[in-house]
Amino acid sequence: MRSSQMFHFLLFFSILGAVLDVSLGDDPSGPYWLLRVKAQLNDPSGVLNNWSPEAHVCGWYGVTCSYNRSKVVGLNLMNSGLSGPISPEYGFLTSLEMLDLSSNSFTGSIPPELSKLQNLKSLLLYSNSLSGEIPAELGLLKKLQVLRIGDNLLSGKIIPDIGNLSELRVLGLAYCQFNGSIPLEIGNLKNLISLDLQKSCLSGQIPQEISSCEALENFAASNNMLEGDITSWVGSLKKLQVLNLANNSLTGPIPTEIGGLSNLRYLNLLGNKLIGEIPGELVGLVQLEMLDLSENNLSGSISLSSTELKSLKVLFLSDNMLTGGLPNNFCSSSSSLRQLILARNELSGKFPMELMNCSSLQQLDLSDNNFEGSLPSSLNRLQKLTDLLLNNNSFTGVLPPEIGNISTLENLYLFDNMITGSLPEQLGKLDKLSTLYLYDNRMTGSIPRELTDCSSLTEIDFFGNHFSGSIPSTIGKLKNLVVLHLRQNEFSGPIPPSLGYCTKLQLLALADNKLSGTIPPTFQFLSELSTITLYNNSLEGPLPESFSLLKSLRKINFSHNRLEGTITALCRLNLLTALDLTNNSFSGPIPSTLGMSLNLTRIRLAHNHLTGNIPSQLGQLTELRFLDLSFNNLDGNVPSQLSNCGKLEHLLLSNNNFTGTAPSWLGGLEELGELDLSSNALLGSIPGELGNCSKLLKLSLRSNNLSGVIPPEIGSLIALNVLDLQKNNLTGTIPSTIQQCTKLFELRLSENFLTGPIPSELGQLTELQVILDLSRNSFSGEIPSSLGNMVKLERLNLSSNQLQGEVPPSLGKLTSLHMLNLSNNHLQGRLPPTFSGFPLSSFIGNKELCGPPLALCSSKAMEKSLSKGEVAGIVAAIVFTSAVICLAMLYIMMRIWCNWRRVLISSSEGNIAELKREDMWIHGNEKRRNNGNYWKMNSWLAPSHNKHPSSTCIFQLKMDTETPDRTSV
């Protein structure tokens, strides 16, 4: 019995071993860990459904076994729609040589346990959503040859441990969120063939150590923040085939050593800050197929040619500062050049005829340069040309008809030149032509009917020329037309009905022409039409009712025509964002259904004959920024529902018949920049809440029946440029807070009942320029001299008030004034001289004013015109001047007398004794009369006995008066 049990036990394990051998192979641990991995994955597509013990592991999806089916050596789950974390248990699949989990939705970090896969040669984790840093343990995978973990959310620095992967051939770390620089240790990877570091937020300089990777064939580090020069080390990479350093901040010149990379096929240095000339050594790149040096600061002439670069197919040199033309040998008949992009340089001269040998050329872009002269008729030699871009130059002359022979041409851009003449009918042969841009030229004549044979045309733009005649009636043949832009020409006649059969049309611009007639009813078929502009024509009649069917319409501008009838056809257009019907003859009410176009941002219906109330439904237009209903016959109250239009910036309701009070809810429209309610019949006071509209630039309430005072809250409108309150019934004074509106350049308060003095604070409004109009009020007092600070003011009207006193001289500083009216006040005194050029009418009604251009001032008037301070100053000046004159005369008389006396003495030397006796007699007389206390009265008549005869008599007088005793003998 016991032996029987043992037999059954051994038989069970023999059968179990056979089953496991079939299902799990010779590596029983592999399937176990794979099933553990499966348990952690989300597999919405069920690609792992056959991962089960019932099937041999070598037949599982994505699994590769060894030759003898004993080990799992490869796992390829690329693009399988899997998500979840990368399990650390992959580390137990120690036989793995290849692990590819790329292009899935794996999240989380890269598990460091992958470092246990010591047989791994290829690790592909790119195009997932992995995050975190690269684990340093990956540097332990000594056999790894391919590591591609880019296009993830990896961050941190690129680990220097990668330099330990000595067998590595492919390193892909592109499209991540790293920081820091390229590690120097990459130079240790002697077997590296491909290095891809594109768009990985790397900075710093490119390490010179990369020059040690002599096997490198592909080096891409574009779209980073790398800086510094590209130094000569790049010349060491002799096997390099692809060098892509585009869109960094590299500086300095292009190293000439690049010319020695004879295997180079792709060189892209666009979008850096490289300077200097294009090195001539680049002609040594005989295998080069693509060269892009655009968007740098390169200068000098173009020295390259496809004659030497025989393999060159693509040459991009746009957005530099290259000058001159093209070299004579630029192309040969065997040239492979297909794309030549030289746009936005400073190239000049005639159209480069050297290009006529580039027979393989498909795309030619010479736009935004300084080329001039006429276009050559031999352009048709470029028989493979698909795109010809010559816009933004100075080409002149006519458009050569031979262009019509380039049967491959798809896009022709000639806008912004000076091309003249008519459109050649030969263009009608270009059945592949898709885009024709001729705008901003000087072309004339009519559109040839043959152009409508270009059945592939999708875009036509002839804006800003002088085309005339009618739009071809056969234009409806252009079934693929998406854009038709004929604005600013001289087209006349009706809009052809066949245009309605261009059913793919999305933009139709016929504005600024001389078109007449009605809008064709066939427009109902333009179901894809998004924008239609017909303004500034002479169109008439009603709008076709079928417009309501055009549900794709977003922008409509029919302004400045003669259209009439109602506008109901333009309602219920849910995508409509802008509607402009200004200056027509539309009548009837504004349809309430207009409020259903919830995307509207602009409504302009001014200068029509619309009647009725503003529909309250417009309050539903919460995106509305511009509402202009002025110059109509609308009436009733301004609906309070408009307060819901919180983004409203322009509200223009002038010249209607609106009644009721000025709405206080307007103060809640914080984005309002322009408010015009003028020429209505509004009552009540100006709401102080308007002071909350801090962005208001223009406020016009003129010509209403508003009463009360000007609210002081007006001073809160510090951005205000225009304030117009004239022709109302306002009372009280001008609030002093208006001085805070320092950006005002137009202020009109005329024809009200304002009183009190003109506040001197107005002088602080130094930006006032257009006008200051306070006329026809009851202002009193003097004109404040501070108004002289408004040096930019061009018009000043203070007429018909009760102002008195003199005109301040400071107003004479207003040199910008060209209109002045001070008439009908009580002003007096002399006018400032600078006012003499104004007409008499500027000052009439002021009886006591004088001075040019009025009558000359009388002396009494002049006296009155002087202030007390001025009078005192004049008197002081007269007294001082008189005193100076008297002293001068006295000095002169004394000098004359002294000189005369000296002459007299010198001529009477013989009578000295007699003179002395006489002198003593006189002195003796005096002595007796004054008892010894006398003043030497005659000493100033005596000759000087000083040893210095040049002394003047005045000095002698001074000396004598100081020492009288010396003369008493």
Average pLDDT, the chain: 88
900 burial type by CB count under 10 A (0-12 exposed, 13-18 middle, 19+ buried): exposed
Q: Please determine, for residue 927, whether its predicted confidence score (pLDDT) is greater than 80.
A: no
CA proximity to 6, closest of 72, 14, 790: 14
Architecture of domain 733-865: Alpha-Beta Horseshoe (3.80)
Q: Please determine, for residue 829, whether its predicted confidence score (pLDDT) is greater than 80.
A: yes
Compute how many other C-beta atoms are within 10 angstroms of the C-beta atom of residue 242. 18
CA proximity to 556, closest of 542, 569, 538, 540: 569
897: confidence class by pLDDT, cuts 50, 70, 90: low
Q: Please determine, for residue 923, whether its predicted confidence score (pLDDT) is greater than 60.
A: no
Q: Please determine, for residue 438, whether its predicted confidence score (pLDDT) is greater than 90.
A: yes
Q: Which pLDDT value is given to residue 10?
A: 39
Rounded Cα distance, 672 and 596, in Å: 23
Q: Which pLDDT value is given to residue 857?
A: 86
Q: What share of the chain is helix, strand, coil (3-state, %, to 5)?
A: 30, 25, 50
Compute how many other C-beta atoms are within 10 angstroms of the C-beta atom of residue 613. 15
Q: Please determine, for residue 88, whether its predicted confidence score (pLDDT) is greater than 80.
A: yes
Q: Which pLDDT value is given to residue 130?
A: 97
Rounded Cα distance, 823 and 835, in Å: 13
Q: Please determine, for residue 889, whether its predicted confidence score (pLDDT) is greater than 80.
A: no
The answer, as to whether pTM is greater than 0.85, is: no
Q: What's the chain's Rg over C-alpha atoms?
A: 49
Q: Which pLDDT value is given to residue 477?
A: 97
Q: Which pLDDT value is given to residue 893?
A: 72
Q: Which pLDDT value is given to residue 571?
A: 87
Q: What is the mean pLDDT of residues 311-328?
A: 95
879: confidence class by pLDDT, cuts 50, 70, 90: low
Q: Please determine, for residue 968, whether its predicted confidence score (pLDDT) is greater than 80.
A: no
What DSSP line would sit under 633-670, residue for residue? EEEEPPPGGGGG-TT--EEE--SSEE-SBPPGGGGG-T
Q: Break the chain into its structural domains and give their ranges.
A: 733-865
Q: Please determine, for residue 914, whether its predicted confidence score (pLDDT) is greater than 50.
A: no
Q: What is the mean pLDDT of residues 429-448?
A: 97
> pLDDT tens across 27-72, in order?
556 799 999 999 999 999 999 999 999 899 999 999 999 998 889 9
Rounded Cα distance, 600 and 595, in Å: 9
Q: Which pLDDT value is given to residue 858?
A: 77
The DSSP call for residue 606 is -
> pLDDT tens across 660-710, in order?
999 999 999 999 999 999 999 999 999 999 999 999 999 999 999 999 999
Rounded Cα distance, 763 and 786, in Å: 5
Residues comprising the chain, all counted: 969
Q: What is the mean pLDDT of residues 939-963?
A: 31
> pLDDT tens across 365-411, in order?
999 999 999 999 999 999 999 999 999 999 999 999 999 999 999 99
Q: Which pLDDT value is given to residue 898?
A: 64
Q: Please determine, for residue 540, whether its predicted confidence score (pLDDT) is greater than 90.
A: yes
446: confidence class by pLDDT, cuts 50, 70, 90: very high
Starting at the edge strand found earlier in the chain, the sheet holding 778-781 runs 707-709, 729-732, 753-757, 778-781, 802-806, 826-830, 848-850
Q: What is the mean pLDDT of residues 476-480?
A: 97
Q: What is the mean pLDDT of residues 750-778?
A: 96
Q: How far is CA 569 from CA 309, 535, 757, in A?
A: 63, 18, 56
The share of the chain scoring above pLDDT 70, in percent, equals 87
**The token pair that represents 728 in the structure block:** 């109302």
Q: Please determine, for residue 11, whether its predicted confidence score (pLDDT) is greater than 50.
A: no
Q: What is the mean pLDDT of residues 494-523?
A: 97
CA torsion, ordered 605, 610, 615, 620, to nearest 10 deg: -10
Please indicate whether residue 456 or residue 23 has the higher confidence score (pLDDT). 456
Starting at the edge strand found earlier in the chain, the sheet holding 466-469 runs 444-445, 466-469, 490-493, 514-517, 538-542, 562-565, 585-589, 609-612, 633-636, 657-658
Q: Please determine, for residue 938, whether its predicted confidence score (pLDDT) is greater than 60.
A: no
> pLDDT tens across 548-558, in order?
999 999 999 99
Helix (H, G, I), strand (E, B) or coil at 626: strand
CB-based contact 578:593 (threshold 8 Å): no
> pLDDT tens across 697-723, in order?
999 999 999 999 999 999 999 999 999
Q: Which pLDDT value is given to residue 962?
A: 34
Judged by phi (left if over 0) then psi (alpha if -120 to 50, else beta), residue 62 lies in left
Q: Which pLDDT value is given to residue 961?
A: 33
CB-based contact 206:183 (threshold 8 Å): no
Q: What is the mean pLDDT of residues 147-152?
A: 97
Q: Which pLDDT value is given to residue 307?
A: 74
In 70-151, alpha helices (H): none
> pLDDT tens across 619-666, in order?
999 999 999 999 999 999 999 999 999 999 999 999 999 999 999 999
Whether residue 949 is preceded by a cis peptide bond, meaning omega within 30 degrees of 0, is no
Q: What is the mean pLDDT of residues 143-170?
A: 96
83: confidence class by pLDDT, cuts 50, 70, 90: very high
**The token pair that represents 632 in the structure block:** 């109509």
Q: Please determine, for residue 922, whether its predicted confidence score (pLDDT) is greater than 90.
A: no
Q: What is the mean pLDDT of residues 136-143?
A: 95
The share of the chain scoring above pLDDT 90, in percent, equals 82
